[in-house]
Amino acid sequence: MLVVATAGHVDHGKSTLVRALTGMEPDRWAEERRRGMTIDLGFAWTQLPSGRTVAFVDVPGHERFVPNMLAGVGPVPAAVVVVAADEGWMPQSAEHLAALDALGVAYGLLVVTRADLADPRPALQRARAELAATSLAAVEAVAVSAVTGAGLPELRAALDRLAARLPAPTPEAPVRLWVDRSFTVRGSGTVVTGTLGAGRLRVGDELALAGTGEPVRVRGLHRLGVACDEVGPVARVAVNLRALARDRVARGDALLTPGRFRGTDLVDVRLVGDPVADLPATLTLHVGAAAVPVRVRPLGGDTARLRLGRPLPLLVGDRALLRDPGRHRVAGGVTVLDVLPPALRRRGAGAARAAVLATLDGRPEMAGELRRRGLVRAADLLRAGVPVTAAPVVGDWLADPEHWRRLGDRLADVVARHAREHPLEPGVPVEVLRQALDLPDRALVEALVRPPLRLVAGRVAAAGSPPLPEPVARALALVGADYAAHPFRAPDADRLTAVGLGAREIGAAVRAGALLRLTGNVLLLPGAPRQAVRVLAELPQPFTLSAARQALDTTRRVAVPLLELLDRQGMTRRLPDDARVVVGGFLVSG
């Protein structure tokens, strides 16, 4: 389906032309018919000689209704610029053309109407000259009279050629249906209409309402007034929404494929038109069928940051226009460069951002996004209209390869420095690393841990390096000699101090599994209990504490807690008379 919007000054014959071509009445309101003037958007359609369908979005030409005109033109890929032969180029001819040019509309026709009232050539010539500098420079021109019918067959043929030239739409794209009308149908409920430029709609689909994010379900679909189960692009559609109050949706809202768009109220844009520095601080942004007030912050000669009065589901590469409603002026065309722009907090951040924006052209590209952002969630890129073609580093996180490598290096540096500064701690807690590297997610820290680093119990430590800090390892080597001679004698406090094992060092050694703490500072090597069971198994069973103490060549200070440990571990069993036996399995297997 070819969907075209009309454009041109009031009373130049737009609605009459649509009527003549379609036999349908585009002026829907009684007031419009009484006043003979289009106020709001009108819709009419017909078949072209080729069998194709053309649908018109007829717009008002009066300067008071330019916002309505823009809501009609915004989502439509092609336009028919209408100029009356007898009046020629007029103010809203210029303003409408400026709007089409700002939106980058490149497909259309120039139609000189009312050719029965005056020679169409001067008007045609002037209009051609005006179009020459715009996105519509190359369009075909036709002169017509809706009264005599002259030129209408040529116009139909030209519409057919236009339809054939338009780029093929993408049915697999997500849906963003800008609502240009909403109304209630008795017995059906709320219906919205729009131009489906891409994507596919089906009865039963769940969509999201852009304004509130609330889910809505498609109860029924009409394509040019005919009910159907499914509609592909490009088409004029009416969507009946299940259980949605009429006041929940209005022109400028949008129906969205869930999860594929994100409402944003902050965008960085390139402007073609007035120099950014000359713009008033407040303008109206028109995009799709929406119009929102925006505050403009210049960032460079032709780039700016726009703060929107309410969030809109915008994508990188979207075309929009800025208009000064007070001065009836299209200030410029907008290309959206970034829908998730970084905050500008530091001094000089604005200038730095301007330099970045100067390199952007609005073509969504993943590698560039990753380079600029370092890290970004895949869902955020997708919802900015950027195709995601790389695998996440962890979860939903995408990383620029170079940035990721540098983060890995920094992680190793922080772990090494921490090990030097806190030699008795077993590595760096993940959360500390997350903060040190200023990462948004702990999962990223864990994903950055690569050999020789390792993740143990929520901390990142260097593996391969000695399991214990140097001073502790040295002290253990000294007591190790003591244990070799008397494995069940615990060094006393003086000995521990002499080799340099203070409370912190002992704690580190115990955490690292290098020492076994029986109680307080009663320490043995970790293998001591098993070794003790082997010795005790040689004794006549049951055996007394005293017999055990002698066999183990140790003191009560060690023997008491050691036997209690063996009891707890089920290797020995204490009898009612306080004697013990080694538990059967340990007797046999040793």
Give the count of residues interacting with ligand GDP (CB under 6 A).
19
91: helix, coil or strand?
helix
The count of C-alpha atoms lying within 13 angstroms of the C-alpha of 3, restricted to the half-sphere facing its C-beta, is: 24
Residue 96 within binding range of ligand GDP, rule CB under 6 A: no
Site for Mg ion in 35-54 (CB under 5 A): 38
C-alpha triplet 457, 458, 460: angle, nearest 5°: 100
* Residue (62 or 403) nearer to Mg ion, CB: 62
By DSSP bridging, strand 201-202 and strand 230-231 are antiparallel
Min CB(119)–ligand GDP separation in Å = 13
**Partner that binds at residue 86, options Mg ion, ligand GDP, none, CB closer than 5 to 8 Å by kind:** none
* Residue (57 or 428) nearer to Mg ion, CB: 57
Q: Provide the 8-state DSSP code for 168.
A: P
Min CB(110)–ligand GDP separation in Å = 14
Position among 12, 236, 251, 383 found at the interface with ligand GDP (CB under 6 A): 12
**Partner that binds at residue 117, options ligand GDP, Mg ion, none, CB closer than 5 to 8 Å by kind:** ligand GDP
Position among 2, 4, 7, 14 found at the interface with ligand GDP (CB under 6 A): 14
The residue range among 3-11, 229-237, 409-417, 484-492 that interacts with ligand GDP, by the rule CB under 6 A, is: 3-11
Site for ligand GDP in 103-142 (CB under 6 A): 113-114, 116-117
Min CB(385)–Mg ion separation in Å = 34
d(CA 567, CA 564): 5
Segments of 386-427 assigned E as strands: 397-399
Sign, CA torsion 166/167/171/175: negative
User: What SS3 string covers 1-18?
Assistant: CEEEEEECCCCCCHHHHH
The closest alpha carbon to 79, from 199, 17, 162, belongs to 162
Residue 15 within binding range of ligand GDP, rule CB under 6 A: yes
**Partner that binds at residue 145, options ligand GDP, Mg ion, none, CB closer than 5 to 8 Å by kind:** ligand GDP
User: What SS3 string covers 297-324?
Assistant: EECCCCEEEEEEEEEEECCCCCEEEEEE
Residue 190 within binding range of ligand GDP, rule CB under 6 A: no
By DSSP bridging, strand 181-185 and strand 189-196 are antiparallel
* Residue (39 or 344) nearer to Mg ion, CB: 39
Site for ligand GDP in 17-76 (CB under 6 A): 36-38, 61
Min CB(248)–Mg ion separation in Å = 30
Min CB(146)–ligand GDP separation in Å = 4
**Partner that binds at residue 236, options Mg ion, ligand GDP, none, CB closer than 5 to 8 Å by kind:** none
**Partner that binds at residue 260, options ligand GDP, Mg ion, none, CB closer than 5 to 8 Å by kind:** none
* Residue (114 or 251) nearer to ligand GDP, CB: 114
Min CB(398)–ligand GDP separation in Å = 50
- DSSP letters of 212-223? T--EEEEEEEEE
CB-CB contact of 528 with 494 (8 Å): no
Maximum Cα interatomic distance, the chain, rounded to a whole number of Å: 130
- Site pattern 144..183 for ligand GDP (x: CB under 6 A): -xxx------------------------------------
Position among 4, 5, 16, 314 found at the interface with ligand GDP (CB under 6 A): 16
CB-CB contact of 295 with 307 (8 Å): yes
By DSSP bridging, strand 580-582 and strand 176-178 are unpaired
Min CB(38)–Mg ion separation in Å = 3
446: its two tokens: 């864990």
Site for Mg ion in 271-300 (CB under 5 A): none
d(CA 284, CA 327): 12
Long-range contacts of 410-416 (CB under 8 A, 24+ apart): 410/436, 410/437, 411/437, 411/445, 411/448, 411/449, 411/453, 411/460, 412/453, 415/453, 415/460, 415/461, 415/462, 416/462
Q: Residue with CB nearest ligand GDP?
A: 13
For ligand GDP, the binding residues (CB under 6 A) are: 8, 10-16, 36-38, 61, 113-114, 116-117, 145-147
Which spans of this chain sit near Mg ion (rule: CB under 5 A)?
A: 14-15, 38
